[in-house]
Chain A
Amino acid sequence: MRGGAARAGRGFLLPGLLFLFAIDLVPLLYSAWVSLYNWWLLRPRDVRFVGFGNYAGLAADPEAWRAVVVTSLFTAGAVVVEFLAGLGLALLFAQPFRFLRPIRVLLLLPLFVVPVVGATMWRVIFHPEVGVLNYYLAQLGLGKPAWLSDPTLALVSITMVDAWRTIPFMFLVLYAGLEVLPAELFEAAAVDGASRWQSFRHVTVPLLAYIMLVALLIRGMDAFREFDIIFVLTGGGPGTATQTIQMLNYRVFGLGHMGMANAIGVVTLALVAAMCLVLWRAVLPPRREAAPERP
């Protein structure tokens, strides 16, 4: 490339990059700083430096550990359900059938519905007395489950709603991955007498492994930070049954305990950064050997 190219490139890149890193980095650094203080929103004159006191308080708080457990259960449950359902649908769509395109569009709709609205729909459906779900369950003699107010069931319910919303994402990503697999490999496997299962296990899975991993990690991080759905459906309740780390952070923020709220944020960020690092390791190597980049 010609001489002034580097400078021209910088001119194009800098505005966006500066904006992005300023808007993300400044609050995060500020957050790390505030997390070292005993800082209540309603007592602005009584701000004291406490070092890692908030972090120590967090580590000693059973509610925080409970939130870690809830977050892990929700994330793992949601990702596994969504992955299996998405993979199943992708495999189904890999063999053409009639009306494939319109059906595919319809299946994608939940992904584009405003999250708060999607959760609201389910809240209405789940309603123990007025809800349509319990009416028909009762007709079938299955009783009236308290979908959102039973501690165990509530976690299952929010996982279901999250699955409703994001199975389409898993489906899309895995389907796009399947579409670019070379057909010759499957033909060769068939010629060699491989069964359906064998060709899936030994051809599809290894070739799709990379995309599967990326999809799992992206979804894992998204589920980990889910807020809207839980807020609308249960608000973290009943009690602390669905109080994920994000919901706990929101509640502590609502109490006005800024030092602690920021400490929770910093811990969350460290956890997400660890997941990001795994993703980076997973994503970078294949790109280095990639030929000229084409979308």
Chain B
Amino acid sequence: MKPTRLRAVLTATVLVPVLAWTLFPIYWIAAASFKTELALYARPPRWVFTPILDNYQRVLYNIPFFQYLTNSLVIAVGTTVGSLVLGTLAGYGFARFRFRGSSTVRFLVLVTRMAPRMVLVVPYYLLMQKLGLLDTYTGLLIAYVSFALPFTIWLLIGFFVDVPLEVEEAAMIDGCGRLGVLLRVVIPIAAPGLVVAAIFAFLVSWNEFLFALILSGVEAKTLPVVIAGFSTDVGPLYGEMSAAAVMVMLPNIVMTLVLQRYLVRGLTLGAVKG
């Protein structure tokens, strides 16, 4: 069916407000991060202004931003590696081996994602206190791998099932063990899936707030906690807060735009596949 002119107009009438509502907050905070103090509080709100970098400069030098950035990065990379290793093994196990109750176990893996984090964090705090792991990378890392892992497993099952069995069998005839097949044959073929899984795991850790808020003090504080700390008062640090917020969401936006095709697949997979 060829879209008529009327339909195009109707579509646009719906889409323009929807796009405005979706994008305005992102635009507004990005704009704020480049405004002078004067422009930030100007009435009427300034839509056109001379961009400045002072806010970024102040965030980078006045608070130990680089330390928080390092914390966030180290924990996120660690989460990515941990959930990829465990997720690849388990995903391959689910994709290639059937056993009694395997679909139930697979569903239970997904169920662990459903436990409210507030429920987990209270006993987790007490346990980490006992182990002396409060305010450490390790404490957060273990929690984040457990958050990212269910999704990683489910995503990778989908990609591993797509790898042709004949290729694997050929490698096994050539004397490869199961692990060798996985490392040398399956992983190279399913590499795009691993990249998507890696990005998801990274973002799980990068975005996480509640555990970071409760478990980290000074040493392991991550960027979302810093942002939330700013926003207790919109007043005096409005510009710095905007600059920090933009820097924190930048990796997310870039990853979304670059890998949107895969992200769409990854996100809908759980629900649509059932």
Contacts and interface: CB of A to CB of B under 8 A. Distances in A.
Contact of B89 (A12, A92, A116): A12
15 contacts: A98-B8, A109-B26, A110-B25, A113-B253, A122-B25, A135-B45, A176-B272, A210-B274, A215-B271, A218-B271, A225-B117, A231-B228, A284-B103, A295-B157, A295-B161
Nearest to A139: B44
A16 B86 contact: yes
Contact of B123 (A27, A120, A228): A27
A113 B146 contact: no
B252 A114 contact: yes
Interface stretch (A1-9, A48-56, A76-84, A192-200): A1-9
A164 B210 CA distance: 20
Contacts of B241: 120, 124
Interface in B241-269: 241-242, 245, 248-249, 252-253, 255-257, 260, 263-265, 267-269
Interface residues of B, number: 106
Given A21-B112, A249-B118, A265-B122, A123 B210 contact: no
Interface string A89-120: 10010011110000101111111111111111
B41 interface: yes
Contact of A28 (B21, B114, B123, B228): B123
Q: Is the interface of A mostly helix, strand, loop or mixed?
A: helix
A120 B115 contact: no
Nearest to B111: A276
B32 interface: yes
A103 B268 contact: no
A9 B271 contact: no
A92 B13 CA distance: 11
B118 A227 contact: yes
A23 interface: yes
Contacts of A135: 43-45
Given A113-B26, A176-B271, 15 more contacts: A9-B99, A12-B92, A17-B109, A23-B143, A23-B145, A108-B260, A124-B29, A127-B234, A135-B43, A164-B25, A214-B274, A228-B209, A283-B107, A284-B107, A295-B159
